[in-house]
Chains A and B, each alone.
Chain A
Amino acid sequence: MVRVTFPSVLQRHVACPPVDVDGGTLRQVLEAAFAHQPTVRGYVLDDAGALRTHLTVFVDGVVVHDRARLAQRVPAEARVDVLQALSGG
């Protein structure tokens, strides 16, 4: 299973405990995580479905650069960390 975590600062606004989901593309992984708590989706992705500007996603500690398509493969047993980027102030 893939472990998906969300930023601790987001917990103030919406419940988003870590969830375990199946592997696939990053988008499939995130959508599977959002299925547990649908409200989280709008906090992480923008209207066009791209990663919000001031969030950063790491897959096994490596930054995701394809922020719009989220098409990269996420291996089973990987860890996906959604973090608040400091660029947002």
Chain B
Amino acid sequence: MVRQAHHNIVTLSLSKGDVWKRLLPSNSVDLNPMAILKNIKDLNLQKIREAKLYRRFASLKTSIVLLGILVGFYILGTIFPQGGELEEYIEAGGRFASLVVFFNLLNIFTTPGFLITALLLFINLFICTIERLFVLLNQGIAKTEDLQFIPTHIFPLEINPHLEDALEGVREVFKKDLGFREQSSDPEMLDIGTDTKIIEKGWSYKWLTWIYHLSILFCFLGFFLTYLFSFEDEITLRPGEETIIKPAAISRWNRSWGRKPRELNFRLALQEFITEYNQLPALDYPGDKLSRLAVGMGWRDPKYLLKNESYFPKDWKSRLKVINLSPKSVIGEGNQAVLEKTIEVNDPLFYQGVTFYQAAYKQNLKIQVDDNPILLETETGKELIVPGIEGTFIFGTIRTGALFKRDGTIEKIRPFADVSFIKKDSAGKSEIEKLGKLEQDGSLVVDSRRISLKEFKEASILSYRYDPGVPILWWSGVFVLLAMSLRVFGAWYRIIYRIEERKGIPHLLLKIRIKGLMADEERLIHRLKYSLRKMTEPIDLDTPV
């Protein structure tokens, strides 16, 4: 009946103005809150569902079109570097600067075009979910095509000559042997007759489909919360340091209300920073294709060499302590350490809704030139000019901590950095010369000057983020995956059957409908035949009861 009503709805053609006139009472222009409330109460839901715009949003075609538009935005987002600056884009050879500025292509996922399309998809999904719910709640009396009874399988029940016995026997087979359950549908409403039964097995695919679509709606809610309320920033801490957390960033929501970032209610201390490396021997393997073919043919062998070994990062960790500043902290007093944890990549610290991640680390070093007591300070990876030497030095990452060697032993690394020297030739072209390893308290001689690494300090860079959308997203994600997997990989069967007497013999007539990749009609028929054969076996009168 609902399905028939839908057909009528689609044929209605109303202008948008007409639709709203029909939906709301004539005094709907009254802006009095009580009047608005009354108008909301007077809204006719059926009329809303009849509206052309509503029907458009309840359409699967609309979903596909909106998804297609979103794909267009996504592709643009991979062509233009997101979050970048216009100058960087132009420097990198970007040729569409005016288009980039006009359409804000470097931040396309925050443009009104993208956000509106996403919103329209949300509305489309919401309406489709509501509509599907109506159908599901009414499916007990719904007269749908799949409930019309046109039998596709007929089995004679030869040994059970009485119709009533056969009916009871078949019912038992379906229920006990095959695990089906009877549907409590009204046969008269279904127009299939009172002697026809509907049985089902497996999780209802319609409900599962509905659940994962609803869960996707909740995912949208998670994205929305992230978009409005999340903020992130980073702090740099040296071992032994303690700091308050005052984010420079602020959520979109607070920014729109003109609020300023607030200090968090706890301090963070870095107790220790640890770096670990794996020994990685260099592979002597050709780069050109013919030489590689030679290796494949066995004319040449690959080799691992230790002399060019590199230190491959194994882990970097920060041992953190959280100090609560509230008068009543978790353990009763303020200014108490309430949590200690060693964090690393993939294992963050979570406290009061804020998550701290091991993002990176930085190293500062002090360099002595000859015996000059004034030390030069620099940071790894940055250029250093040494007075009296023409050119600049670059000190690579200082390797320190533990080295996990290939033979299973662990060695303490004597801190060192790879040093490069950049010199400009007469044409102004830069030349990079690798000077080699500079160990702590060791030295390198450049232009008759002795360069020594006297000391270095490490600092852990921690990023932190507040994102209230994450829990909602994870929970709804779990439901999406569970419901989708059960729907797709599971097995759902519906059998409509009837027992009819044909030429004095009862016959089982049935129609099977299946859903899910595990559903197998042939296997079901096979099992049914086997069970029916058991049921129709002649009674052995010689066997004592």
Is the pairing of A and B real? no
